[in-house]
A and B are shown apart, each in its own frame.
Chain A
């Protein structure tokens, strides 16, 4: 039974709670409860935002002071140095993040890349029984792993991290100085392998470069890489 009376008192209770939250007087468990509620309660978000704006005049009491000069470098290192290397170098998947993720799953199972050049590995078993998504939170790649209990085989497929269907990883072939040629888009679902187009298969040989870039969902709209290269390397290197 929601009466206007009830509504009014709920509203004023929320006003006080939001004010206490913005003031910062709540003990930790209460703070966490408020933050949880803030995630999807739009009306409550607005009440908190209003208090934040109202009490912002107290912000003038914070005297600005320069942080030590090393600090920005430390922030950059934490944020960016975990990512992919800037230059194509070494093996494909030479991304540090990729291998860091991989070490989590190489415990005992044999690891196969689903995205290997055509026919290099046997066809995966039909019904993978365990699926896990590995990611670091800051990397542009997550790894979908599929474990088939029957064969003991674990399959690892890289996919674009972040919200589903927002970005894709696309595989490219680069021969010498030529423009990259698209080989396929990694599927964003678990059973991921790329079938290399038949006319491209014999072009996958020693010395050519494979690269993976982050693209809009579904792959590059232009036929050329448009996003950052997250991993690259030469075949046979």
Chain B
């Protein structure tokens, strides 16, 4: 199905280019095509429907205002859109959780949600990082994945895996270095 994905990506890229020219019809079409995925990102990260709805509106306002900044050499268009969504959700989470940490310095840890492990159709690049992930110890690979997918902070991850904050920081930094080395091989 890679051909279909490529055509989809090309269409999304074309729509973003039209949106950069303030084309409202293209904006509607882009929303139609991508909002389900971006809403999924918001729901998973924010774990709150009202927050996700609020976030999705702000995300598409950012898409409208920043469409001109997208260039093909910045990666695939869907990756770019999801990065906008994740960054917005992360900002909301960090603001929210920063307040929570101030209230409760003992660090009450959110109950981790077991993510559905979907079998995914991966691109060749994606498969490479999955190969590299397998070279990490199991719990560290899981921590990397939870950090990305759920938007968990170092503190939350430390609580989840029952290790001190600094240990978690070391885990993830070493994992990132290993991943980078593996992919550069």
List residues of A whose CB falls within 8 A of some B CB. 12, 15-16, 19-20, 22-28, 31, 49, 52-68, 71-72, 74-76, 78-80, 138
In the complex, A71→B152 CA distance in Å?
A: 27
Q: Contact between B147 and A75 (Cβ–Cβ < 8 Å)?
A: no
Please pick, from A19, A53, A67, the residue contacting B176 in the complex, using a CB distance under 8 A: A19
With contact pairs A64-B37, A79-B61 given, residues A12 and B147 touching in the complex (Cβ less than 8 Å): no
| Beta-carbon nearest neighbor of B168 in chain A | A25
List residues of B whose CB falls within 8 A of some A CB. 24, 28, 31, 35-37, 39-41, 43-44, 53, 56-57, 60-61, 64-65, 74-76, 78-80, 82-83, 86, 90-91, 93-95, 98, 115-118, 120-123, 125-130, 144-145, 147-149, 151-154, 157, 172-173, 176-177, 179-180, 183
In the complex, A64→B61 CA distance in Å?
A: 20
In the complex, A68→B122 CA distance in Å?
A: 29
In the complex, A80→B22 CA distance in Å?
A: 11
A49 to chain B, nearest CB (A): 5
Please pick, from A15, A31, A59, A64, the residue contacting B180 in the complex, using a CB distance under 8 A: A15
Interface residues of B, dominant DSSP: helix
**Beyond A54-B129, A62-B41, A78-B61, 8 additional pairs, beta carbon < 8 A:** A23-B147, A23-B148, A27-B153, A53-B75, A54-B183, A56-B125, A62-B82, A66-B39
Task: Give chain B residues whose Cβ lies under 8 Å from the Cβ of A62.
Answer: 37, 40-41, 44, 82, 149
In the complex, A27→B155 CA distance in Å?
A: 9
Q: Contact between B61 and A25 (Cβ–Cβ < 8 Å)?
A: no
Q: Contact between B173 and A20 (Cβ–Cβ < 8 Å)?
A: yes
B69 to chain A, nearest CB (A): 11
Q: List 26 A–B pairs whose Cβ atoms lie within 8 Å, in order of A's numbering.
A: A20-B176, A23-B148, A24-B151, A24-B152, A25-B152, A25-B157, A27-B94, A28-B98, A52-B75, A52-B79, A53-B75, A53-B125, A54-B125, A57-B126, A58-B145, A59-B78, A60-B120, A60-B122, A61-B120, A62-B82, A63-B40, A64-B37, A65-B36, A66-B39, A78-B61, A79-B64
In the complex, A124→B125 CA distance in Å?
A: 64
B46 to chain A, nearest CB (A): 12
Task: Give chain B residues whose Cβ lies under 8 Å from the Cβ of A65.
Answer: 36, 39-40, 43
Please pick, from B41, B116, B144, B180, the residue contacting A23 in the complex, using a CB distance under 8 A: B144
In the complex, A64→B154 CA distance in Å?
A: 27
In the complex, A26→B169 CA distance in Å?
A: 10
